[in-house]
Amino acid sequence: MAYGHDVSIPGVNWTHAGLCHNYPLILVSGCENVRITGGGTLRGMDPGSECEDGTNPNTIWIGCQNKIHLILLGMYDSRNVEISDLELIRANVYHISTYACENVYFGNVTMHEATCASGDGIGIGIGSKNIVVDRCFLRSNDDGVVLCSSYNEPRGLVWWFPKPDADNCISNIRLTHSCIFGGHGLTFIPWGTDNPDLSKQEISDIVAYDNILGGGYSVGTWCDNPYYGEQPFTNTEQDAYSPVKNVRIYDNIYLAKADLLTIKATNIITDCGLISASDFQHGDFERRNGQNGWIAGLSNWTYEKNSSPTSVGVTTNNNGYCGYIGNLDKGNARLYQGLYLARGKHTIKVDLKTSSVTARFFVQNVRTNEIVKSIEFSNTEFKTYEIVFETQRSDTYYIGIDAGNAKSGSAYIDNASVSTESLPVPKYYRTNMDDDNVDFLDKGIWSIIDLDNNKVLAAPIGNSLSNVNFRNKYKDFDFITNICIRSSTATIDGNIGFLVRYMDDNNFYFLEYNNVENFLRVRKFVNGSVDVIRVIHNYTLKLNEWYTMGVRVKDRTFEWYINKELVISFTDNDSNFIREGEFRVNAYNVSAMIDDVEIAEVNTIDFTKDNPPIPRTGDAFNLFNVIPVLLLTGTIIPRKRKYKTH
C-alpha cells in the first residue's frame, strides 16, 4: 500500500498510486454476470482532507501526501456487468475504471465530492466494448467519461494489465441521459500508436446524446501518446494518435466548447462543431509513423459486410496494401470513409480495379442520403480515376466503393485522396437556413437545428461566447434577421447583438441587447478602449419569442431596428471612426437562434415591412428543466427571475 498521489515508475507519466500500485476498494476481475447495485454509497477517503470543493484547485491537494489513494470501483477482464443505483463520494483518484471488459451497463451512478486531483469519472480502456453509460452524474476535477485506446500500457502492474496481443479497440460505447462535469465531459485518448497493427487501436462507434456535458471542454482529447514517440514527452506532437472513427454526438447541452485538437477523425457527425477530416486518412492503406512491417489495416475506414465475414478487408498490392470488398455473391458490401467536404470544387483521385465484374465508386451525402457522384468500373488492373464535382454546401459524405451491379467477385481500392478548391463567398445574400446559401456563413459552434419542422441556426444550449461570421468585410450595408433567445445562463452579463465593422478583438462597434439588465446598448471599441455611445434602459425581449432585427450602416451613420421600429440611430463623428470590417452575430451567455437572414447593399431593405416568415417556437427549451442538473455541475446560480416559455 502506497501513500501519496503518485508512485515512481521511471520514464512513465501519470503514475497515480490508485491506478498503478493500490488495489481498488471494490475489484471485479475475471468475472462474468456480475451486478453491483443499490441504492447505496461507496465512500472514499475522508480523514486528512480539507478540500472544500472537489473542483477547487486551491484546496484539492491539501493532505494529498498523507492519503492512501484508491479507485472506488475497478473492473478488469470481465463480461456482462451491471453497475446501477450507486453513489460514489469522496474519491481521491479515478472513480471507476473499466479495463478489458465487455457488455457493461452503468445506470444511475452519481459521483461527486472528490477529495483529491485526478478525479476521473468512468474510465473505459484496454479494448473494452459494448458499454452503456446511462443516467449518470459526475461533478469532479478531471475528465468525465474517458475513452482510452492504449497498447502496451506501462501503468498496468498490479490489478490490471495491458493485452498487447488483443483487439484493443474501444468500440460500441453509448453515453445517454447523463450530466457530466469535469476536465472534459467526454474525452478521447487515442494512445495506441505503438501497436504494430493500428486497426486494433481504434476508438470507434461512439454515440453520445441527450446529455449535459461541461467542464474545461464539453468534448475534448489528450491526443499525444506519452508512451511512444518523442521522448521525453512534451504533449506537442501533432500526429501521435491512433484512429478515431464512426462517432455521433448530438442533442446534448454543451456547457463548454468541443475540440479534438489535431485528431483527424473520420465519419464523425456532431452538432457541437466537431467535423470529419477533409481528406482520406490511410487512404493508401499504408502505415505512417511506424516501424518496418507495421500495418494500418482498415484504420479510419468504415465498412458494411455481407453475410461473409471476409467480405471486406485488406490485401497485398505490389509492395503495399489495398482495400477490397469480396464474396459479392452473398450480397452487397461497402468500404468507405466519412469525410467533411467544405463548399467548393473537389477532386478525388483513386486507384480502382475488379475481378472482371462491374462495381461502383460513389460519393454519398450523409444528410440527404443522395448519391451525388458515382462511376462504374470493371478494369482488372489498377487504374487511376479522377472524379471532379462541386458542392454548394459543406457536409459529410461517404466516399468509397460498393458492389454496384456486381453479383459476384470482388472490387479493390487504393491511393484515395481528396483536394478541395474553395468557391468564392458572395458579399450579399439571403438564407433561410435550409438552402445552399447557409454555407456562406462561418457558423462557428452554432448549428442548424429543426424547430417545429423549420430549420434555424442556433447557438448551443449553455453557450458562453460564440458568433456567426459573414466572412466578408463590409463598409456600408443593410442586414435583417429573425432572432430569438431560447435560454440563458447569464447571472451578471448576457447579451445578443451584432459586431459591426469588426477589425479584430479590440476594434469594432457592438450593438447589443443585455438580457440580465434589460437594456439596449451601443459601444465602440478602439484599440481596446471602450466608448459607450448609446443606452436605452427598460427594454425587454422575452425568452422564446421571435423578433425581427435590422441594421443599416452607411458611412458614419448606424441604425438599429427591432420589429419594424427604429430603436437606435447615431452618427460617429469622431476622427477614429471605424470605416470597414466584418459583420458578426454575437451571443454571450445566451443560446440564441436566427433565421431568414439577409445581408444586402445599403438602402435596399425596407425595415418597416415584415421579414417573413417568422418561425414558430414550437416546444421551446425551458430553463427550469435544466436548473437542477446545472446546479449539480456548479455552472449557474439562478437569479430570482421568471422565465416564460411559449
- Has residue 632 got a pLDDT over 60? no
Question: What pLDDT band is residue 270 in, cutting at 50, 70 and 90?
Answer: very high
Q: Which of 108, 87, 93 shows the shortest CA–CA distance to 146?
A: 93
Contacts of 302 (CB under 8 A, 6+ apart): 245, 246, 266, 267, 335, 336, 337, 338, 398, 400
Taking a C-beta distance cutoff of 8 angstroms, is the pair 160, 97 a contact? Answer: yes
Q: Which of 150, 208, 215, 141 shows the shortest CA–CA distance to 178?
A: 208
**Phi, psi angles (nearest 5°) of residue 328:** -75, -5
Radius of gyration of the chain (CA): 27
Taking a C-beta distance cutoff of 8 angstroms, is the pair 379, 350 a contact? Answer: no
Segment among 143-147, 234-238, 484-488, 529-533 with least mean pLDDT: 234-238
Round to whole Å and give the CA distance between 602 and 501. Answer: 14
Taking a C-beta distance cutoff of 8 angstroms, is the pair 347, 387 a contact? Answer: yes
For residue 304, what is the enclosing H or E element? Answer: strand 302-304
- Has residue 450 got a pLDDT over 90? no
pLDDT digit string (tens) for 161-170?
A: 999 999 999 9
Segment among 20-34, 167-181, 296-310, 615-629 with least mean pLDDT: 615-629
pLDDT at 463: 84
In 3-state terms the chain splits into helix, strand, coil percentages (rounded to 5) of: 5, 50, 50
pLDDT at 105: 99
- Has residue 614 got a pLDDT over 60? no
Segment among 534-538, 582-586, 608-612 with least mean pLDDT: 608-612
Q: What is the 3-state secondary structure (H, E, C) of 18-78?
A: HHHCCCCCEEEECCEEEEEECCCEEECCCCCCCCCCCCCCCCCCCCHHHCECCCCEEEECC
Q: What is the pTM of this model?
A: 0.86
pLDDT digit string (tens) for 503-559?
A: 999 999 999 999 999 999 999 999 999 999 999 999 999 999 999 999 999 999 999
Question: What pLDDT band is residue 234 in, cutting at 50, 70 and 90?
Answer: confident
Round to whole Å and give the CA distance between 253 and 289. Answer: 37
pLDDT at 231: 85
Segment among 28-37, 183-192, 267-276, 549-558 with least mean pLDDT: 267-276
pLDDT at 232: 84
How buried is 26 (Cβ within 10 angstroms: 0-12 exposed, 13-18 middle, 19+ buried)?
A: middle
pLDDT at 183: 95
pLDDT at 509: 98
Round to whole Å and give the CA distance between 199 and 302. Answer: 11
Residue 37 burial (CB count, 10 A) = 12
| Mean pLDDT (whole number) for 411-432 | 96
The whole-chain average pLDDT of the chain stands at 92
Taking a C-beta distance cutoff of 8 angstroms, is the pair 516, 490 a contact? Answer: yes
The percent of residues above 70 in pLDDT, for the chain, comes to 94
| Mean pLDDT (whole number) for 106-120 | 96
